């Protein structure tokens, strides 16, 4: 008895998959080797007390170093973890509102149809292209309490500048200042694209009704920019949890642990203290925290993000 012939859509899907597979294979192989496999290895390492030096794949070595969930238990029960998480959350609470306000200001300035606005768009984006190492070294000099340009500028107005990076109360705000300066050009251009895409008819109708600039901004611009703002919040929150280069170069976690953050601890436990299993467990805890925060944001967007234009 002859087999029933497959339907035409089924044959097309199967043929399309065979045709696309050779083109997708390099990307899939790259994702497997450079993303999925490292994740699996990291998960296995997090269950050990491996120091990063012994040959973990040697016979019996994994069983010898295996500690189960001991690293996770040690991290979550330590006072240091909650202090580091608090420092990271403090940075996020200071950074995201300042960054969003600065990016909105940049977007509003660059959206004006004025002469030379293209040149200003390039100028505002220059900090984004600057290496974090170079930028951090420059700002470390600028924020020097004795010889820094910022405190010297404040002294002209009779203001005694703080110790900035040497003061526990001011070290994290100083890191936030540098981060906002570095990121506002990137996020400002994203918000600018959303602002330019708004139909000008809304503003013309509002002007005819007598709405002023502030009313048009709050009633038209902000609601119609919420998709772009939501994207900026998602990306900036993930970047904020991964705070690292400016901390390592400008404060190295000091003073007195005031700027110790999650990724800084992961790096030091792994590559300075040679506690690779502990660092891997720390990284998985950070992964879970980022996933939970992103999930909450995705759920919350239904209440305030407006996709109607």
The pLDDT value recorded for residue 3 is 52
pLDDT on residue 20: 81
Dist CA 236 CA 242 (whole Å): 10
Question: What distance in Å separates the CA atoms of residue 238 and residue 291, rounded to the nearest whole number?
Answer: 9
**Residue pair 26/264 in contact by the 8 Å Cβ criterion:** no
> CA 228, CA 207: separation in Å to the nearest integer?
24
Q: What is the mean pLDDT of each run of 10 residues along the chain (309 residues)?
A: 52 68 88 91 92 76 86 96 96 96 92 82 89 94 92 92 93 96 94 89 87 88 91 94 95 94 96 94 96 92 78
Query: 70-304, which class in CATH?
Result: mainly alpha
88: helix, coil or strand? helix
pLDDT at 5: 53
Q: What is the pLDDT of residue 55?
A: 77
Instruction: Record the pTM.
Output: 0.88
Spans of all domains in the chain: 1-38, 70-304
* Contact (Cβ atoms closer than 8 angstroms) between residue 206 and residue 220: yes
Q: Which residues contact 104 (CB under 8 A, 6 or more apart)?
A: 188, 191
CA 8 to CA 126: how far, in whole Å?
54
For the chain, helix, strand, coil in percent to 5 are: 75, 0, 25
């Amino acid at each position: 008895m002859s087999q029933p012939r497959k339907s035409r859509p089924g044959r097309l899907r199967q043929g399309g998959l065979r045709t696309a597979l050779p083109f997708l294979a390099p990307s899939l192989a790259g994702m497997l080797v450079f993303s999925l496999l490292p994740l699996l290895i990291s998960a296995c390492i997090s269950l050990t007390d491996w120091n990063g030096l012994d040959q973990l794949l040697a016979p019996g070595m994994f069983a010898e170093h295996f500690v189960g969930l001991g690293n996770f238990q040690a991290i979550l029960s330590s006072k240091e973890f909650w202090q580091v998480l608090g420092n990271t959350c403090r940075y996020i609470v200071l950074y995201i509102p300042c960054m969003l306000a600065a990016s909105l200001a940049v977007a509003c300035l660059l959206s004006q149809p004025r002469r030379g606005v293209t040149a200003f768009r390039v100028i505002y984006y220059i900090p984004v292209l600057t290496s974090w190492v170079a930028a951090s070294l420059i700002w470390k000099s600028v924020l020097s309490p004795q010889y820094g340009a910022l405190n010297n500028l404040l002294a002209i107005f009779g203001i005694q500048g703080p110790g900035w990076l040497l003061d526990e109360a001011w070290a994290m705000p100083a890191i936030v200042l540098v981060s906002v300066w570095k990121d506002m050009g990137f996020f400002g251009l994203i918000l600018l694209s959303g602002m330019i895409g708004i139909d000008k008819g809304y503003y013309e109708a509002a002007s005819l009704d007598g709405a002023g600039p502030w009313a048009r901004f709050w009633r038209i611009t902000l609601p119609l920019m919420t998709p772009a703002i939501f994207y900026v919040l998602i990306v900036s929150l993930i970047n904020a949890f991964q705070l690292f280069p400016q901390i390592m170069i400008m404060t190295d976690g000091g003073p007195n642990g005031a700027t110790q953050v999650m990724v800084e601890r992961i790096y030091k436990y792994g590559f300075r203290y040679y506690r690779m299993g502990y660092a891997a467990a720390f990284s998985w805890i950070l992964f879970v925290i980022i996933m939970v925060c992103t999930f909450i944001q995705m759920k919350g967007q239904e209440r305030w993000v407006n996709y109607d234009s």
